[in-house]
Amino acid sequence: MREWWRDAVIYQIYPRSFQDTSGNGMGDLAGITQRLPHVASLGVDAIWLSPFFTSPDRDMGYDVSDYTGVSDLYGSIEDFDALIARAHDLGLKVIIDQVLSHSSDQHPWFTESRKDRTNPKADWYIWADPQADGTPPNNWLSIFGGSAWQFDPVRRQYYMHNFLTSQPDLNFHNPQVVDALLDVMKFWLDRGVDGFRLDTVNFYVHDAELRDNPASDWTDFPGNPYEAQNHIHSKSQPFNLEVLQKMRALTESYEARMMVGEVGEMGDRQVELMGEYTSGGDKLHMAYSFAMLSHDHTAKHFRRCIETFQKAAPDGCPSWSFSNHDVERHVSRWAKPGEEEAVAKQSIALLCSFPGSLGLFQGEELGQTQTDIEFHELQDTANIAFWPDYKGRDGCRTPMTWDAGQPNAGFSTADPWLPVKPPQAANAVAGQEAANDSTLHHYRAALAHRKDTPALRMGDTRFTDLPEPLFAIHRSYSGTTVTGLFNLSGTPQTVTLTGEATPTGPQNATLNAGTITLPAFGYIYLSTTGEIALAA
């Protein structure tokens, strides 16, 4: 039987911004449960919950101080159990974030570890002596700016942190650490979760010799110095594979569970690692990277990502998405003013043509745009050092908009933790439900077409060479080929079709006497049982 996750559509929910039921301006687990019928109505297969665990919230929950506790902000463990039950009643699987590469500095494990060099958890984190002149052990850098090392005056050593100084990295070279994290995963599996999204999965293991990273191949020095290094020693180490194999063995001991890992790398290496981490059937079930969460909106880029993965892992399973909680929303990245709706509608048709599983970020089904956050409104202070060149992640994390006629677009009766502004409120669910040609209805149609088309879910993949901005992908299964043809620009294009094909599914292009006319951001699906040829 084919595993459910191989072609699943996974809808990401950012709990703090989905629905507030407590009146404190922040979303909660009960609010998610209340709104699950909307999610189910899209035709998705699963939800992914960003962290809701006990945390001081220095990085919005990605700094966990209790891996098996629920933050008071979001409710209780009973609220989580109710969410799981309701999701399963609606036919939705539940995937939860696991932030295992690092913890909060307020986690009891770290509190004990930093006491001295001989306590039982002294080696649970990555500690190293200063160099003779007092400087850090090596040149490794934090993604959020500065050195990846923070001096602790009690131990008189540095501890490593790839992210904030309040997010010390766990030491995966210590078997006790790996076992403890497996116990955490087991706790949630026993609670009924269907899988895990593993945060920064290639950051787990570091070079035990602490060798310096070499410089990257940069021409203009990047805005974030982290990008000036090739991080061959601080992450993505070979031993990482053994850790993933242990995690896979645990999930395989349960029925129909899965893991999807976030790979944080640069360039083609990130897609290659996706393949490496999913090949062989004994590591991750799926992986995704930031490759398609970029500003590159070209046929060459999309094709290269898919082909690079397939070459690295012919038996592996990718997960592709265009937006998430860490990047500018793709409609704002790819569209000029006035093009947003057309880009939003084309984007879901495009994504549905890709092999593997698909990821959607809350509000994406509304064609939601990036919120313009002013400096005094900032909550994501992790990246404040790079303002205004980089305005942080708040703009994509603003509250879900449900009804433009309600206070804060129906998200909360109180002032929300991030503002709901008019451009985002205008895209609210209620208004789109009432409009037959809305982006929301288009998402439902595109996802239903994919679910009803075996070639799009399970087919082999090949491409036709066409000049930019044209992208043609062919998915073949059981004697039927479905071709997706896309114009990735705001300028109309024409393509000549040779052979017999029938338009199928959502489209805004026309086929007439062998000529396909694609409007700005046009798209069409063609079904055929024979050979066809496309030419620009």
**116 tagged catalytic:** no
**Dihedral of the alpha carbons of 12, 16, 17, 21, in degrees to the nearest 10:** 120
| Active-site residue, selected from the candidate residues 199, 262, 328, 394 | 199
Q: Where in the chain is the domain with CATH 3.90.400.10?
A: 103-169
Q: Which of 97, 265, 272, 380 is catalytic?
A: 265
CATH 2.60.40.1180 domain range(s) in the chain: 459-535
Active site residue 59: no
CATH 3.20.20.80 residue ranges of the chain are 4-102+174-450
Residues 6+ apart with CB under 8 A from 72: none
Quick: pLDDT tens for 168-212: 999 999 999 999 999 999 999 999 999 999 999 999 999 999 999
Give the architecture (CATH level 2) of 103-169: Alpha-Beta Complex (3.90)
- pLDDT one-digit tens code per residue, 360-381: 999 999 999 999 999 999 999 8
Assign residue 84 a region (left: φ > 0; alpha: ψ between -120 and 50; beta: otherwise).
Answer: alpha
What is the model's pTM?
A: 0.97
Rounded Cα distance between 385 and 396, Å, is 19
Binned at pLDDT 50, 70 and 90, residue 322 comes out as very high
- Digit-coded pLDDT (tens) for 95-122: 999 999 999 999 999 999 999 999 999 9
Span 482-507, pLDDT tens digits: 999 999 999 999 999 999 999 999 99
Q: State how far the Cα of 318 lies from the Cα of 357, in Å rounded to an integer.
A: 6
pLDDT at residue 266 in the model: 86
Q: What is the fold of 4-102+174-450?
A: TIM Barrel (3.20.20)
Give the mean pLDDT of the chain. 97
Instruction: Give the rounded percent of residues in the chain with a pLDDT score beyond 70.
Output: 100
Average the pLDDT over 67-86 and give the result. 98
Residue located via tokens 């396909």: 516
CATH architecture for segment(s) 459-535:
Sandwich (2.60)
Q: Is 480 in contact with 527 (CB distance < 8 Å)?
A: yes
